[in-house]
Chains A and B, each alone.
Chain A
Amino acid sequence: MRKCIKCGKQTQIYLPQHRLALCKEDYKTWFESRTERTIEQFKMFDRTEKILVAVSGGKDSLSLWNVLVKLGYNADGLYINLGIHEYSKISQEKVQKFANSIKKQLHIVEIKSEFGKSIPEIAKDRRKPACSSCGAIKRYYMNLYAHKLGYNVIATGHNLDDEVSVLLLNTLSWNVDYLSRQYPVLPEENGFVRKVKPFCKASEKETAMYAVLSNIDYIEDECPYADGSTTINHKKILAQIEEFSPGTKLRFYLEFLSKMYPLITEKKKNEVVIKSCRLCGEPTQYEICSICRMKA
């Protein structure tokens, strides 16, 4: 059996991409320190700022909230109830229970009362996959409520696998618009609150292991609408590469950030003009934002 690189205790936790064996306690400490280093590396926020963590009840967002609170950041939670039947009911219960356990404030937004329809109803009306409306709606209400409630920063639980699967998708189609926005920090500007992804260097397995070892009770079931999604298929392909070449995903992402991202953003500078939506006043590239267009 392997020995923990920190304390020498026997352990079965091994991270091939880092060539690192760690015991349970040292794994949690390593994971938290690594998150803090990522926050500092990308200048995401500091301890004086008010952070709103977007929590879904899943392993990533609850682990993120846990880590930020443990590191001493001023972080509250925002749960958006999407109205996806039993899935939303269970996830809200888990988030509420977790918020009570860490004694932090949780804000809850109901899409049905805000928008007039739940995600399943919107998907049915638009005859489009639920994920396409869901992402836009979540981003809209996150920004709206962060402003309303006086938070400087929105932190999301996006992990390395999320980032890399989207990077692969956007690279395969050379979607320069999307690639130019794929950075772990999107600054506060033009009516948008700063958005950050402190887990951008942590794999999905690493966040799940952290959640399990920290006894975080998260919703294991997948969103019913995510089944067979493009993201999951890309993640499975990337997992095959990672299995025979550990570290590929992290390298792909970090090399993109250091080599390609600066070139793309330089070219895209000043191309996009952000204005206020004529109907709701929220920031958008168009006269009327996508959410008001969906409502119409």
Chain B
Amino acid sequence: MQDNKGKIFILYRNKKIVFEEKEIKVKDIIKRLNLSTDYAFAVKNGEILDANEIVKAGDEIKIINAISGGIR
């Protein structure tokens, strides 16, 4: 069986990304994904997380990138 306890699971645009850290701030996850806190944010169990919130190993969060482009 796979040990998932020491990992942080991030769902971003239908892709699952695994971070090996024990803990990391939301804003650092956003930065690592090459995004900005100006247009991206994290959601955990339907709740929006503050950019300074610490995510811990075993947590599953979703990153929403609000930016969209093209002619609308």
Contacts and interface: CB of A to CB of B under 8 A. Distances in A.
Nearest to B12: A220
A226 B69 contact: yes
Interface in B14-72: 14, 36-41, 43, 46-50, 53, 64, 66-72
Given A221-B14, A242-B38, A243-B38, A207 B70 contact: no
Main secondary structure of the interface of A (DSSP, over half): helix
Given A158-B72, A212-B43, A212-B48, A239 B36 contact: yes
A149 B66 CA distance: 32
B70 A12 contact: no
Given A221-B13, A243-B37, A162 B66 contact: no
Given A220-B64, A242-B38, A243-B37, A13 B70 contact: no
Contact of A207 (B50, B66, B69, B72): B66
Nearest to A21: B50
B64 A208 contact: yes
Contacts of B46: 212, 215
Contacts of A232: 67-69
Given A220-B13, A239-B36, A212 B69 contact: no
Interface in A83-135: 131-132, 134-135
Contacts of A215: 46
Interface of B: 13-14, 36-41, 43, 46-50, 53, 64, 66-72
